[in-house]
Structure formats: C-alpha cells, structure tokens
Amino acid sequence: MSVPETSPKLDFIREIIADDLVFGKHSTTITRFPPEPNGYLHIGHAKSICLNFGIALENAGIGAKCHLRFDDTNPEKEETEYVESIKADVKWLGFDWGSDLYFASDYFQFFHDCAVHLIREGKAYIEQQSAEEMRVCRGNLNTPGTPSPGRSRSVEENLTLFARMKAGDFKEGACVLRAKIDLASSNMNLRDPVLYRIMHAHHHNTGNAWCIYPMYDFAHPLEDALEHITHSLCTLEFENHRPLYDWFIENCPVPSKPRQIEFARLNLSYTIMSKRKLLELVQGGHVGGWNDPRLPTISGLRRRGYPPAAVVHFCKRVGITKFNGTTDVALLEFDVRDFLNHSAPRRMAVLDPVKVVLTNWAAEPLTVATLANHPQQPEMGEREIPISNEVWIEREDFMEIPEKKFYRLGPDRHVRLKGGHIIRCNGFDKDPNGNIALIHAEILPGTVGADSPAGIECKAAIHWVDVATGLDAEVRIYDRLFTVEDPDSAEGGFMSVLNPDSLKTITAKIEPSLATVDPGFSCQFDRTGYFVADAIDHQPGVKPVFNRTVALRDSWVKKGAR
Ligand code: ATP
Ligand code: MG
C-alpha cells in the first residue's frame, strides 16, 4: 500500500501568497517560525514548520525566506536548553533558516521605543489599578469598560512614570503600560490591552538590563514588521487578536506591514500537545524526559524511529484549513510504516522466544542461512546468519492444537525457517505451569532454498534466531500514552487517563548483526514491526537496546474500544 499523493491544489494561505505576488503586493515572501523557548517542540509545531519553511522553499526562486525567531520575551519560563533542542528539531525535519536566526529579545529597545512613541501620541498610558480592578473595569460583552483615572493622565506624566517603571522604581504589579484604544469595543482584546509589565527577572539573553517586559500581543507584530515578514501565519486562536495586531502595525513606527493569517492547529488523537501539560508529564516523572518515545514531541518521535520525511509528509497530508479538528494518530502511523516499508532493511529478532531443538541436524548441518535484506529491493543486498541445531522461534508461531487457518508449527506439522530448512515438529515439553518449554523438530534435508517436497504441506516461513550465536537485547514496546482519544477532555484530567501499559520492556533474542549497529539504526524485525536502536541507551557490542517504532499492523483497530 502506498500513501496517496498530496493534492497539487493550493491551500488558502498559499493562494493568498500567490495572489500577492501576482498583483505585485510583494516581490517575494518572507515567513517565520516563532517558537517560544519554553519547552520542546511537538508535532503541532511540525505542522507550522512545514507550512512556513515549505512556503519559503517553494518560492526560493524569487528569494523567499523563512526566519527562525525565538520569541523569548518572557524571562521566567525560557531556557537555552530549549533553544538548542528547537534548532535541532527544525534541522532534523530537513529545514534550514540559513542566516535568518533571530531572538525577539534583541528587539527590546525597539519595543520600548514604540511604547514611548504611543505614549507621546496619547495612545498609551500607565495603569496603576491592580489586575483584578482592571479586569472588573474592562466590562464584558454586554457592558462597555469604564476608564480608570490613569486613562486621562497627561503625556508628560505618562512618560515620566514609564521611565520610572523602566528604571526599576516600582515593585512587580505596581503598574503596567496600557494601549489607549477603545473601552467599548466588542472585541475585548481592544479594550486597552496591557503592553508592558514589570518583572524583576533575569533574562537568558539580556541579563538584568530590563525589568519591564512587553506582552506577546504587542511584541509579536513589531517583531514581524522589523523582520519584513510578509505573511505572519499563526493558529486560529489568534483570529480575534488580529485587529490588535493591525492596530500596532498602524500606530507604531514600523518599517513594514506584515499580514496575519490564521490556520487550524494540529490536534492528534490519543495525545496531548500543550507544552505546559507535556512539561507536567516530564517533571512528574510519568515519562522518561522530553524525548520519551511515547511523547508527541519531535525529539520523542525521532527517538521512536519515525523518519523525518514521514512526519513532513503527514503534515502536508493533513493540510492547511480554517477548521479545527482532530487527526487520527493512526494516519501518522500509517505514513511512518509506509516510509519504513520502503527504506528499512529487514532483520530477525524473536520477541517472545521458545526454543526448538533440531534433533537430526547432523543429517544436513547448515552453518549459515542467507537472507535478503529487503524483499523488494535486491540492491540492499543479502546477509548470512549463523544457524545450528537449536533456534529460538516466536511462541505464537507454535500451537499445540492449531486453529483453522493456522499454517505455522504444531505437532506433526511443517514450517520453513526463513532462509533455512523446512522443519517438522515431532514433540514438545511443557514446564510445570503448562507452558511450552521446548519444541522437538527435525529438518527435512534438501529443502534449503528448494520447494517443499511432494506430499509435504508447508505454507509459512517463520523468523528465528540461532541459540548459539543469537544475543539478548532489551526491547521497548510502546503503546499509546493515553487510553482515550481526547485526554484533554477527560473528566479527571489528562493525568487520570494515562495508559499504565504504554511501555513494556522485554528481553528479546536478536540475530548477531543487530548487536553492533549504531544508535539510530532503523530496521524491520521480520513479521513483528519496525524497530530502532535507541539513540541514548543502545551501546553497540555491549548492550543492544531497541525501541519499537510501530507495529506492522494497526493492532489498536482490533483492540477496539478498550
Ligand atoms: P503550546 O500551546 O503547545 O504551548 P504554543 O503555541 O504556545 O504551543 P509557540 O512556541 O508559541 O507554542 O509556537 C510556535 C508556533 O507554532 C506558533 O506560530 C504556533 O501557532 C505554532 N503551533 C503551536 N502549536 C501548534 C499546533 N498544534 N498546530 C499548528 N501550529 C502550532
Ligand atoms: Mg505560544
């Protein structure tokens, strides 16, 4: 099965951009991806990255660019660790900001100057009411706001007070700077929003140079305008902030006039996307860190073994619309399987081993079995795997009393060991608990690489690992992190619907070649799924550790409403 091609039809944002170019509104297009460095990026951000950097790439011929801008205007939540992880994630997805790397904190002086400009124009004033008083005086949808005494203060007085705010004369919360727009506006965002607040905090870039910090709504349009962004693409929740965005662009001394366009954010079933909630999972120890393979973070997906091309393809396929919805995570898994099916070499590993002893091995001892590295791609070559008289097979490949349509091993039945002999089971031992402990079988000489002899029914080939040369590996089997489709709306909160079985660690048997692969090596374990050597814990030749990227089939569908 292959993934349907993405439609060549332009989405509404690309249509707007194409029109602006045709009508000469701009000679090129400049977009930006503006993360706040207060957490790791998740797959929702990947959608925004693919959109913004994608548009730049598509228009590279006319000099289009996409800026990577860290929106680091809030000193309290930001850390350089996040800056580095964000850069690594954007690169991993295959995008390049070139020399266009910016930090909003480099514009603090400009924001300040714009604020002073607004004060001089009589369009901003110092507010000394408490946050609670301001909230009450702002009114509501049925009642216009009421002006506070500060609103009629003189320009001179406002300038002095603002200078004192900046100089650190006031405690946090003592006053703020507000825009003077419209207290009766039906859009609450226009009812004299706060522009600046006092925060006596150390900033990762500017240190202690500032103790007043701009609000996001004020800073963002100014950042865009300073960087000559043509189209500022954001998610739908900013739609009713757009009049405010435009007001700042109209009323501040900015060098360009960017246009804000909103699109629907990506939501995925069975997961959560808010950085605040992801941080809660990380800090609470519910997962192993920001790059835990169960998280929808880009670093989690990477460690899980998702190919970046599959993530990018998925983001394109989801498309850009104005309608919020939830995308089935199975769609993402489908893309991951599809990409890995083409690119991942095949290897053998037995996840739930039971031993088979081949009682007549001496009749035709084989020393190596030869297997293709990919069933459809001969250019990926072959490999030789040692084999001897004892092999591990998957417990589920044997049935004491075979069901209808079970074509694998059972008493007096035949099955082929991939790349090796057809074998016939002629007995088994059980342990005291009644589980199969050992299977006795014999090889059918002359069947390596040959059809089954007349009168022998052998419809299946199973994977195996040689007991003498196979190795133990730690294998991590991941399942969905939450048991319900929409964890955010769970009655007891998202923490109440964590899946207790989201991680199972097992000891599997692996073919010898797997022990020495590099961290990040991705392959299919024949018949079980796609696996990747863990980027952090896998030690080649010392301690093999593999993560299951995705099972071969969507087992969740079968499990149904669990
Ligand atoms: P979160 O809500 O997860 O904390 P955020 O919006 O606060 O995310 P930012 O760092 O501000 O995170 O996001 C950077 C960019 O990524 C913004 O332009 C934002 O609109 C976009 N973005 C964030 N989440 C999504 C999403 N789920 N789908 C699409 N774009 C998103
Ligand atoms: Mg944000």
DSSP string across 319-384: ---S----B-HHHHHHHHHHHHHHHPPEE-EESSEEEEEETTGGGS--SEEEEES-SS-GGG-EEE
Is the torsion defined by CA of 555, 340, 316, 95 positive or negative? Answer: positive
For residue 294, pLDDT over 70 is answered with: yes
Class in CATH terms, 12-263: alpha beta
* CA 261 – CA 256 distance, rounded (Å): 16
Phi-psi region of 289 (alpha: psi -120 to 50; beta: other; left: phi over 0): left
Average confidence (pLDDT) over 469-490 = 97
- d(CA 188, CA 143) in angstroms, rounded, equals 11
The CATH T-level fold of domain 275-345+473-559 is: Ribosomal Protein L25; Chain P (2.40.240)
What integer pLDDT is reported at residue 417 of this predicted model?
98
218-235 pLDDT, tens digit per residue, is: 999 999 999 999 999 999
- SS3 sequence of 64-106: CEEEEEECCCCCCCCCHHHHHHHHHHHHHCCCCCCCCEEEHHH
Rounded average pLDDT over 433-460: 94
Among 283, 275, 357, 277, CA closest to 82: 275
275 lines ligand 1 (CB under 6 A): yes
Q: What is the pLDDT of residue 9?
A: 82
Written as six digits, the tokens of 345 are 């070499």
- Tell how far CA 225 is from the center of its chain: 30
* pLDDT tens-digit map of 81-93: 999 999 999 999 9
Query: Element (H or E) spanning 213, and its range?
Result: strand 212-214
Say how far apart CA 200 and CA 195 lie, in whole Å: 16
pLDDT band at 3 (very low <50, low <70, confident <90, very high): very low
Q: For residue 67, give the nearest of 85, 87, 47, 81 by alpha carbon.
A: 87
- Token pair 């405010």: residue: 244
Mean pLDDT of the chain: 95
Q: Does the beta carbon of 235 lie inside 6 Å of ligand 1?
A: yes
Task: Please say if the pLDDT value at position 530 is more than 90.
Answer: yes
Tokens representing 409 are 């091993």
Confirm or reject: Cβ of 321 under 6 Å from ligand 1.
no
Distance 314 CA to ligand 1 centre (A): 17
Of 413, 458, 435, 434, which Cα lies nearest the Cα of 354? 435
Alpha helices in 168-261 (DSSP H): 216-226, 242-251
3-state DSSP assignment of residue 215: coil
The CB of 296 under 6 Å from ligand 1? The reply is no
pLDDT bracket for residue 556 (50, 70, 90): low
Ligand 1 proximity of 353 Cβ (cutoff 6 Å): no
Q: How many residues does the chain have?
A: 562
Q: What one-letter code names the amino acid at 24?
A: G
Three-state SS for 245-274 is HHHHHHHCCCCCCCEEEEECCCCECCCCCC
- Cβ–Cβ under 8 Å, residues 74 and 206: no
Catalytic residues: 36, 265, 275
Q: Please give the Cα distance from 319 to 456 (Å, whole number).
A: 53
pLDDT of residue 562: 35
Query: Ligand 1 in contact with 34 (CB < 6 A)?
Result: yes
pLDDT tens-digit map of 17-30: 999 999 999 999 99
Q: Tokens 């893309």 — which residue?
A: 335
Q: What is the pLDDT of residue 100?
A: 98
Measure 133 CA to ligand 1 centroid, in angstroms. Answer: 31
Q: Give the SS3 label for residue 285.
A: coil
Closest atom of ligand 1 relative to the 274 alpha carbon:
3
The pLDDT tens digits of the residues spanning 350-372 come to 999 999 999 999 999 999 999 99
Q: What's the burial of 399, exposed, middle or buried (CB within 10 Å: 0-12/13-18/19+)?
A: middle
Task: Return the structure tokens found at 151.
Answer: 């609103």
Q: In whole angstroms, what is the distance from residue 413 CA to residue 462 CA? A: 13
Q: pLDDT-derived band of residue 557, with 50, 70 and 90 as boundaries? A: low
The CB of 45 under 6 Å from ligand 1? The reply is yes
The predicted pLDDT at position 488 comes to 96
- The pTM assigned to this predicted structure is 0.94
Tell me the β-bridge partners of 32.
Answer: 67
Q: What percent of the chain has pLDDT over 70?
A: 97
Of all ligands present, the nearest one to the C-alpha of 224 is 1
Identity of the amino acid at 114: C
Q: Is the CB of 35 under 6 A from ligand 1?
A: yes
Q: What is the pLDDT of residue 323?
A: 93
pLDDT, one tens digit per residue, over 381-392 is 999 999 999 999
pLDDT level of residue 264 (50, 70, 90 thresholds)? very high
Protein residue closest via CA to atom 14 of ligand 1: 35
3 state DSSP class of 425:
strand
For 349-463, the fitting CATH number among 3.40.1350.10, 3.90.1300.10, 2.40.240.10, 3.20.130.10 is: 2.40.240.10
Report the separation in Å between the CA atom of 306 and the middle of ligand 1, taken as the mean of its atom positions.
21
pLDDT of residue 553: 85
Residue closest by Cα to atom 2 of ligand 1: 274
Q: Mean per-residue pLDDT for 325-335?
A: 96
Of 300, 270, 318, the C-alpha closest to 89 is: 300
Structure tokens at 444: 């059918």
**Residue to mutate, 47, 48, 237, ligand 1, most ligand atoms under 8 Å from C-beta:** 48
- Our CA angle for 285, 287, 293, nearest 5°, is 160
Minimum CA distance residue for ligand 1 atom 22: 45
Cβ–Cβ contacts within 10 Å for residue 68, how many?
23
pLDDT at 8: 63
Of the listed ligands, the closest to the CA of 44 is: 1
Helix (H, G, I), strand (E, B) or coil at 547: strand
Q: Which helix (H) or strand (E) holds 519?
A: none
- Residue 550: pLDDT above 60? yes
Report domain extents, the chain. Answer: 12-263, 275-345+473-559, 349-463
First to last CA, the chain: 27
The C-alpha atoms of residue 344 and residue 534 are separated, in whole angstroms, by 15
Q: Ligand 1 centre and the CA of 34: distance in Å? A: 9
Are both 12-263 and 349-463 of the same fold? no
Digit-coded pLDDT (tens) for 34-61: 999 999 999 999 999 999 999 999 999 9
In sequence order, which residues have a C-beta less than 8 Å from that of residue 480 and are 6 or more positions away? 270, 271, 294, 329, 499, 502, 556
Residue 83 Cα to ligand 1 midpoint, Å, equals 15
Residue nearest atom 29 in ligand 1 by C-alpha distance: 265
φ/ψ bin of 209: left (φ > 0), alpha (ψ from -120 to 50), beta (otherwise): alpha
Hey, which residues does 477 pair with through a beta bridge? 504
Q: Are 538 and 532 contacting, i.e. CB atoms less than 8 angstroms apart?
A: no
Give yes or no for residue 80 having a pLDDT over 90. Answer: no
Residue 301 confidence (pLDDT) above 80: yes
Largest interatomic CA distance in the chain: 104
pLDDT band per the 50, 70, 90 thresholds, residue 76: confident
> Which tokens in the block code for residue 100?
């266009």
- Burial 194-224, CB ≥16 within 10 A → b, else e: bbbbbbeeebbbbeeebbbbbbebbbbbbbb
Determine if ligand 1 sits within 6 Å of the CB of residue 389.
no
- Looking at the CA of 261, which ligand is closest? 1
3-state helix, strand, coil in the chain (%, to 5): 30, 25, 45
Tell how far the Cα of 508 is from the centroid of ligand 2, in angstroms: 43
The residue-averaged pLDDT of 332-358 equals: 98
pLDDT at residue 253 greater than cutoff 70: yes
Going from the Cα of 311 to the center of ligand 1, the distance in angstroms, rounded, reads 17
CA-276 nearest atom, ligand 1:
4
Contacts of 471 (CB under 8 A, 6+ apart): 509, 510, 512, 514, 515, 544
Q: Report which ligand 1 atom has the smallest distance to the Cα of 34.
A: 14
